[in-house]
Amino acid sequence: MPQQSALYLKMHYMVAGTIPASTPLNDRRTINGWAIFDWANSAYALVISSAIFPAYYTSITNDMIQIGSVSISNSALYAYALSLSYVLIALLSPILSGIADASGRKKFFLKIFTTIGALSCFTLYFFRGMDQLDTGILGFMGATIGFTGALVFYNAYLPEIATEDRFDRVSARGFAFGYIGSVILLILNLVVIMNYASFGIASQGVATRLAFVSVGIWWLGFAQVTFFRLPKDRNGRFESQTLKRGFRELQTVWNQLTHLPNLKRFLIAFFFYSAGVQTVLYLAATFAEKELHFETTHLIMLILVLQLVAIIGAYFFAYLSERIGNKKSIFTMLFIWILVCITAYFTHSQGQFYVIAAFVGLVMGGIQSLSRSTYSKLVPPDTTDRTSYFSFYDILEKLAIVVGTFSWGAIEQLTGGMRPSILALIVFFLIGMLLLSRVTIDHAPSVELLEKA
């Protein structure tokens, strides 16, 4: 009977059109090709979004920038550019994902956003100061849009290349690849920047701008492996009715969500706890700099600690989920996130904060990986609209970033410090845990049974 169930599941995926019949599930080569995309695009997330570009931007721009009759701080302009990028992709991705599902051209859009992101990184080489401020802002926004836009289509491939029982491990592999690849490139860039004369580079500024170019090359170059190994697009074409069909695909998914209360509860829970998670990830370095007086070199070390421990966390919680289930594993991580917020509130030394950073790294890799794989398990296996489903997931994550960071800023402005802001994030985690308690997560037959079938 178990073998019959496994065979049914395997046939079910194919009959439903979720994967092409020629695409073998759980194929190591395909899975590694998929995971390499994380290796490729995470270079943006670490080098440009977190480690090097923010400090470079602050150092070459004026503290106050005049835009028309409005005077705005350079850090506020940076935050607004980031927010606007997320708003734009939140508006575009559901439309594009609907079109991708309708036309069967998921890989096409994956390539488009990857190219936009990589080319935008190249343009940052020309950002040398206030005279090129528009180039820097637009280049940063383009890279952000390329990164976030591609993730919608990349995540949607997970149920097409692996059976449900392997979602956790495959998702963890992708995040681990991303953490390892981005750390390697960051270290290489830091070596060049700190020893620019030894490499025949004119100045540290030029070396820094070359780091942005290296991200574009790394991103676009390694993505070719992913493009080659992932299943081919269906032979659909863009026709006059494709856009309308795209909107219909999106409307269909929305209608289906209203009849899938379990999935909808998970999405709402994900929104709330992601608001807490993403806010910590984006503003931990700012907290360390302002409240604990970390220098730039120490901040980079802090980020490296986060990335390296996150590799362990992604695999550890994937293993733990196999033992106690996804739901209990996510609960465990959310409890640790709450402890992190409480501890950070009372932390006043850099040494203590390194310990906290290690725990953040541990649950950072796990919560992102398991959230993606859990959502994949809850999406109906017979749907052909997976990209549209994942666009809702992606939009909620982006809106959670906006809500979380805005709440942080508002509380900081009212209280005059960051410590109340980080303590207030506990509310997001508690609401997420409450909603998650009402979610039921089933498990698929084991992969051994599938292989025997």
Residue 46, pLDDT > 50, answer yes
Q: At what angle do helices 386-415 and 242-258 cross, to 10 degrees?
A: 70
Lowest mean pLDDT among 176-190, 232-246, 379-393: 232-246
pLDDT at 14 over 60: no
The C-alpha atoms of residue 317 and residue 310 are separated, in whole angstroms, by 10
Strand partners, 70: 67
Residues 279-295 have a mean pLDDT of 76
Q: One-letter amino acid identity for 234?
A: R
Could you give the C-alpha distances from 24 to 412, 435, 453, in angstroms and in order?
51, 36, 14
The three-point CA angle 72-120-289 to 5° equals 45
Question: What does the pLDDT read at residue 442?
Answer: 63
The residue extents of the domains of the chain are 2-452
The average confidence (pLDDT) of the chain is 82
The rounded distance, in Å, linking the Cα atoms of 323 and 376 is: 19
Which residues lie below 8 Å from residue 6, measured CB to CB, with a gap of 6+? 445, 446, 449, 450, 452, 453
- % of the chain with per-residue pLDDT over 90: 35
Range with the poorest average pLDDT among 102-111, 148-157, 226-235, 387-396 = 387-396
Q: How does DSSP classify residue 418?
A: S
* Mean pLDDT score, 209-238: 89
Task: Write the CB contacts of 190 (distance below 8 Å, at least 6 apart in sequence).
Answer: 300
* Interatomic CA distance for residues 2 and 340, integer angstroms: 42
| Backbone region of residue 78 per phi and psi (left: phi > 0; alpha: psi in -120 to 50; beta: other values) | alpha
Work out the average pLDDT over 118-130: 96
> In Å, how far are 169, 232, 241 from 374, measured between CA atoms?
11, 25, 34
Q: Answer with the residue of higher pLDDT: 97 or 376.
A: 376
Region 83-94: what's the mean pLDDT?
79
Classify residue 445 by its DSSP letter: P
Give the pLDDT of residue 309. 85
405 in Cβ contact with 425 (< 8 Å): no
Whole-number pLDDT of residue 23? 64
Assigned superfamily of 2-452: MFS general substrate transporter like domains (1.20.1250.20)
pLDDT digits (tens, 9 = 90+) for 330-351: 999 999 999 999 999 999 888 8
- The C-alpha atoms of residue 75 and residue 62 are separated, in whole angstroms, by 10
